[in-house]
Amino acid sequence: MEIKELLKKVAEGTVSVDEAVLELKKAPFEDLGFAKPDYHRTVRQGVAEVIYGAGKTPDQIEKITRSLMEHGQKTVLITRMSKEAAEYVSTKISATGQKFQYDSCSKIGIAGEIPKPDGLGKVVVATGGTSDMPVAEEAALTAQALGNEVVRIYDVGVAGLHRLLSHAEELMSAQVVIAIAGMEGALASVIGGLVDCPVIAVPTSVGYGAAFEGLSALLSMLNSCASGVSVVNIDNGFGAGYMASMINHISEKES
């Protein structure tokens, strides 16, 4: 119920003053519009809803997933999901005739259909090495579940520049690039210098010694000498995929 409607009813006498006060207290934020409107749009339109799987029991995940789907959600994305949870949820969801797929590399589970891409263009996910793949797949599957066409370019670390440059055309056709690397994290700068679209950099904890669990790559990416590069937390593939999808779905706002 909108504020204006509520006030009209108060004016008409169909809602008492006390009932109106109660209503305003109970849900002041939705009414006043401070809640993320995206939430409502998402639910209405069936775009993917996200569950952070870490620290939730298989049973909890399954219940939230089913509830969401029963309320019209067509795609449910579950991140940091254990194999055990995936097996449990898979059995339960399949029994209801719905699809469920699990990627053990990225620990991503997806219930329902992966939507058709409806973004402005492609999201390119590039990694420095093969060890960065779990983070990369978290980013890629997140972006796919949120309605993006994803192009994967893996193992193109800057120490073998020719491997990266042989993908120059794919990189330059991207709407947004997610650059994922551990160790010295130089990939973000090199890609940032090659492309003319936003680059989301994801440092990974890949490496040893002075890599200090991703700190080296993180600092490196924050200090990128290329313009148009911004950074998310170490190993945060989901955050990068989400941000990339947001950018890839931008549309002109009415002023």
Name the one range near a copy of itself by CB under 8 A: 36-44, 61-69, 89-97, 106-114: 36-44
Distance, in Å, from the CA atom of 117 to the CA atom of 228, rounded to the nearest integer, reads: 24
Q: Does 195 bind a copy of itself (CB under 8 A)?
A: yes
Q: Binding marks (x or -) toward a copy of itself, 101..120, rule CB under 8 A?
A: -------------------x
Question: Quick check: 222 and 188 in contact, CB under 8 A?
Answer: no
Given the complex with a copy of itself, which of 90 and 200 has the nearer CB atom? 200
Given the complex with a copy of itself, which of 114 and 219 has the nearer CB atom? 219
Question: Quick check: 206 and 131 in contact, CB under 8 A?
Answer: yes
Q: Does 237 bind a copy of itself (CB under 8 A)?
A: no
Name the one range near a copy of itself by CB under 8 A: 65-73, 91-99, 104-112, 237-245: 237-245
Q: Binding marks (x or -) toward a copy of itself, 150..189, rule CB under 8 A?
A: -------xxxxxx--xx-xx--xxxx------xxxxx-xx
Name the one range near a copy of itself by CB under 8 A: 66-74, 91-99, 107-115, 208-216: 208-216
Q: Does 192 bind a copy of itself (CB under 8 A)?
A: yes
E strand residue ranges, the chain: 49-52, 75-79, 100-103, 108-112, 122-127, 149-153, 174-181, 199-203, 229-231
Q: Does 136 bind a copy of itself (CB under 8 A)?
A: no
Given the complex with a copy of itself, which of 97 and 209 has the nearer CB atom? 209
Q: Any idea of the CA torsion for 53, 137, 181, 149, to the nearest 10 degrees? A: -120
Name the one range near a copy of itself by CB under 8 A: 34-42, 68-76, 92-100, 105-113: 34-42
Give, as ranges, the residues between 62 and 91 that touch a copy of itself (CB under 8 A).
none
Q: Which of 53, 58, 147, 239 binds a copy of itself (CB under 8 A)?
A: 239
Distance, in Å, from the CA atom of 105 to the CA atom of 216, rounded to the nearest integer, reads: 24
Q: Does 1 bind a copy of itself (CB under 8 A)?
A: no
Question: Quick check: 235 and 181 in contact, CB under 8 A?
Answer: no
For residue 126, give both structure tokens: 């590039």
What is each CA distance from 132 to 92, 106, 125, 143, in whole angstroms? 31, 10, 11, 17
Distance, in Å, from the CA atom of 50 to the CA atom of 110, rounded to the nearest integer, reads: 9
Q: Does 217 bind a copy of itself (CB under 8 A)?
A: yes
User: Do β-strands 108-112 and 100-103 pair in parallel, antiparallel, or remain unpaired?
Assistant: antiparallel
